[in-house]
A and B are shown apart, each in its own frame.
Chain A
């Protein structure tokens, strides 16, 4: 059931999306990010020459996934940073009814390089990850999430 690479792209008129999988939530978040980068460029051509640290928090798990992806969208759009490999430093999932803005948090280091239009293929320019129909589910022990991007 797990796709090679841990994600598949969704075919939606007008927008772009991915379905990500993971045996753990950590893996799901990493695969969602890898899937998103595959919409932006050919990730096979990205080297690991720069490492950045990314920390996000939210009051819900879905919110955390959107914040995580939007933080990476920001790093790409503002600085051209394109991620390739991920190492999660901490992943805290809180009580979803707590309504505490910091209940869910993720911090990770991401290795990749700065996008160079001369060497890297430009695919889609992602504006943002959205909440549209977003649901993180555990089906028979596999975490899945469908994320639609604004492009």
Chain B
């Protein structure tokens, strides 16, 4: 855990290990995780098991502001803070043996889960385009109930520019996770003295957790092209979907649902019902039940790290308050949440993962 904590920068004000030329920055935004693999950080099979091959088409680096470049520059290859994490886990329960087998999961297997995104780069793209969209709301005559909401018609130049910038941010995020996964493999190699291949550290799946995509869906019996924005939601495509890699086409898309750092995370599979009822989507996590202040108050006088250590979970965090804010009691029980999506049929349970070691920003 110590090596992972040192090798993967995390927390407020942390800086990444990657320094890129302007030309390489552009390449990264166009090629996403593929850029990382081409630069020795990962293998081709990683890309096959990443949503959209880790590289979404239609990104335009020329639409990215100088500020977004500047903000993203020092943060490529960083975990971030808040609910983002890197966990060493183990498979504690299998619900569907055949499906688990297809995904390469088996009981007591050690796994790693990485939860992070496009960092300050994506946030700056959002901030920049909120201004553009705010003007668009007036220009196209929309009436919206909250100033925090903004929109533009899909075919407008404003929306086109935004999508091209958002796609660059998505590629930034895929590159980020690919780099962090690579350093995680290196950390295991350093500590255990064995290669990632011999340790079986292959990627199960990498999926975005805040992205808008143009997809085919059936609405009232009619096939339509829709823009599906999944935020606080994750994609859950069924078996046979053309977007899935060959390895998973017969079982469906692996769905990763992280829980809090003390309880569990789940691997599920996408279903046809998700396609019919939720535009191929399922939940992304447990959801909070306590505000941050409530959690900090409840954690006062307690050593959250020791409580976790007593249960066999080693946690490293740069932020003093992060552990209190992120403690188990602050979240709904992920098992209950996952049971709901399982029973609703919008994704089906394959395996439960229990945390062993946690890096929190």
Contacts and interface: CB of A to CB of B under 8 A. Distances in A.
Given A11-B291, A132-B146, A125 B12 contact: yes
A128 B288 contact: no
Given A128-B123, A133-B146, A121 B320 contact: yes
A122 B81 contact: yes
Interface string B323-361: 000000000000000000000000000000000000001
Contacts, number: 92
B334 to A, nearest CB: 16
Interface string A5-17: 0000101111010
Contact of A124 (B81, B130, B148, B289): B81
B321 A123 contact: yes
Interface size class of A (residues with CB under 8 A): 35 or more
A62 interface: yes
Contacts of A76: 13
Contacts of B138: 99
Name the interface size band of chain B.
Answer: 35 or more
B81 A115 contact: no
A74 B11 CA distance: 16
B258 interface: no
B12 A122 contact: yes
B31 interface: no
A11 B296 CA distance: 11
Nearest to B126: A128
From A40, A63, A123, residue with most partner B Cβ within 10 Å: A123
A14 B80 CA distance: 17
Residue among A40, A41, A131 with max Cβ neighbours from chain B (10 Å): A131
A131 B293 contact: no
Given A13-B288, A132-B148, A133-B146, A77 B11 contact: no
A120 interface: yes
Interface of A: 9, 11-14, 16, 40-41, 62-63, 70, 73-74, 76-80, 99, 115-117, 120-125, 127-128, 130-134, 150-151
25 contacts: A9-B293, A13-B288, A74-B67, A76-B13, A78-B71, A78-B74, A78-B120, A115-B12, A117-B318, A121-B320, A122-B11, A122-B12, A122-B320, A122-B361, A123-B321, A124-B81, A124-B82, A124-B321, A125-B80, A127-B120, A131-B130, A131-B146, A132-B147, A133-B148, A134-B147
